[in-house]
Structure formats: C-alpha cells, structure tokens
C-alpha cells in the first residue's frame, strides 16, 4: 500500500502538470497564414504590452473595431481576422486581456482603462464598435451594459453571454450582431437560443453552419469543443463578412 501511495504521489502531480501544459499549448496561436503579422503596403501592424494594432494604409474608415480575445488564447490567434478587417479599411485593435483572461473585477476595470486610453488616442476614429470572442465577448457584453454610450455597435462571437438579467442588453440602442457556430461545444446553440431574451429584438443573428468554437481563432483544439465540419478559413471568412456588414451599416 505504501508503494502504491508513492506511485500515486508521483504520477498524479505529473499528470496534472502535463494536462496544464497541454492546455497552455492548445491556446497558443498556430497555423497562421504566412506573413499575417508583417506590415506591408496595405496594413501597418504594431504591438505593445496591451494591444496589437492593424492599421489600414489607405482609405481608413472613420469607424474602428476593438476586439477582446478569448480566455488564455494567444492574441495573435486573431491576427488573420483582424488583418482581413484592416485590409477592408477598418482600424482593428486586439486589446490584450490582463493575465490573459481578466479573471477579477479589477482586471476588467484595468481592461476598460486601456480601452478608454485607446479611444482617446485615436482622434481619426469617430465611432467605435466593440467585439470579442468567448470570454472576451462576455466581457464586451458587460462593458456595453455599463458604457453603451462609448460605442456605436457590439459584435459577440462564440459566446452564450449575456446570460443573466443583471447584464441584460435587451434595451440596448446600438446595433448588435451575434455570431455563433453550430458545432460550438462551449457556447452551444441551445444556450445561445435560451439567452436571446437578454439581447435587443433587432439583434442580427449569424449562424455559421459546421463551425466550432476554436476556429473563430487560429489556435489548437479546445477542451469540450466539437469537431468542425467546415474549414477554419471558411469559418473565418463568414465571420469577417458578418463583422463588415455591421461596420458598413454604420457608414453614412
């Protein structure tokens, strides 16, 4: 029995460490298109401790997009989507979550401070749309609930939020788009539909048939997710179209 306990003491922590390593690796950006993080004649890309900026080189719209990543997902996993939007003329800024997931209220407050600083610095942008994926979308929903006047639109991607009356956006006056995937194992269709009451009646619902949770970014398989039946490229393309549709609707 004593020998068995010794084995358990060795195997259990080792298994736990290996599992944590697998989780960390699965959230790292992977299979990014070649050159997606390189500036060129169409898009200028800069990165700091708090953001990754994708700036159109020409014909920039007066409407900008702020994007909150999913929990623990490496922010560059959303670079292909951000670059696509920038190439279409939209200044797109991936705002990094404190500690990778903003686990505490104080971290969300810190994120809001960063968001405010970005908005204040960009005098060329007249209106901002807030977006996010998964945990980032949940934070975006709460941000709109508290600071709706600061934004012209909201785009929620791969999330079942808002999902409680305390953060209901049912009476929000800004345009809202909800993008969800039929094979998403973390924000299922059942959950998304059950929480429709917490979004405005005029919300635009975009269903991506065959998409899953992880393919909204370029990172590894996520625990609890289902297998997608369409390619990551196709899911990303449909997501970009849905985002641009809302952005274009705000242009005078």
Q: What is the 3-state secondary structure (H, E, C) of 144-202?
A: HHHHHHHCCEEEEECCCCCCCHHHCCCCCCCCEEEEEECCCCCCCHHHHHHCHHHCCCC
On the 0-12 / 13-18 / 19+ scale of CB atoms within 10 A, 25 is exposed
Residue 88 has pLDDT above 70, yes or no: yes
Kindly report the length of the chain: 252
Query: Based on the structure, what is the number of domains in the chain?
Result: 1
82 token code pair: 């951000």
Work out the end-to-end distance of the chain between its first and last CA atoms, rounded to an integer number of angstroms. Answer: 76
CATH code for the domain in which residue 133 is found:
3.40.50.1820
Output the pTM of the full model: 0.91
Q: What is the pLDDT of residue 26?
A: 63
What's the pLDDT tens digit per position in 221-240? 888 999 999 999 999 999 99
Residue 115 has pLDDT above 80, yes or no: yes
Residue 72 per-residue DSSP state = T
* Gyration radius of the chain over CA positions: 19
Which residue segment(s) compose the domain that 52 sits in? Answer: 2-249
pLDDT in tens, 147-200: 999 999 999 999 999 998 888 999 999 999 999 999 999 999 999 999 999 999
């Amino acid at each position: 029995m004593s020998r068995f306990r010794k084995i358990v003491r060795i195997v259990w922590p080792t298994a736990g460490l290996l599992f944590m390593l697998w989780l960390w690796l699965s959230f790292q950006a992977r299979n990014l298109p070649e050159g997606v993080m390189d500036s060129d004649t169409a898009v200028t890309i800069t990165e700091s401790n708090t953001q990754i900026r994708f700036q159109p080189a020409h014909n920039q719209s007066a409407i900008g997009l702020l994007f909150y990543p999913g929990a623990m997902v490496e922010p560059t996993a959303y670079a292909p989507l951000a670059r696509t939007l920038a190439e279409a003329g939209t200044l797109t800024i991936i705002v990094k979550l404190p500690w990778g997931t903003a686990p505490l209220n104080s971290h969300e407050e810190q994120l809001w401070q960063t968001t405010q600083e970005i908005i204040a610095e960009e005098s060329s942008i007249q209106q901002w749309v807030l977006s996010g994926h998964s945990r980032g979308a949940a934070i975006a929903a709460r941000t709109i609930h508290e600071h709706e006047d600061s934004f012209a639109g909201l785009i929620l991607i791969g999330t079942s939020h808002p999902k409680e009356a305390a953060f209901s956006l049912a009476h929000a006056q800004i345009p809202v788009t909800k993008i969800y995937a039929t094979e998403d194992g973390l924000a299922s269709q059942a959950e998304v539909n059950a929480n429709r009451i917490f979004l405005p009646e005029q919300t635009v619902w975009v269903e991506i048939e065959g998409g899953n949770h992880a393919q909204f970014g370029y990172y590894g398989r996520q625990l609890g997710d289902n297998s997608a039946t369409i390619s990551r490229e196709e899911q990303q393309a449909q997501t970009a179209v849905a985002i641009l549709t809302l952005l274009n609707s705000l242009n005078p």
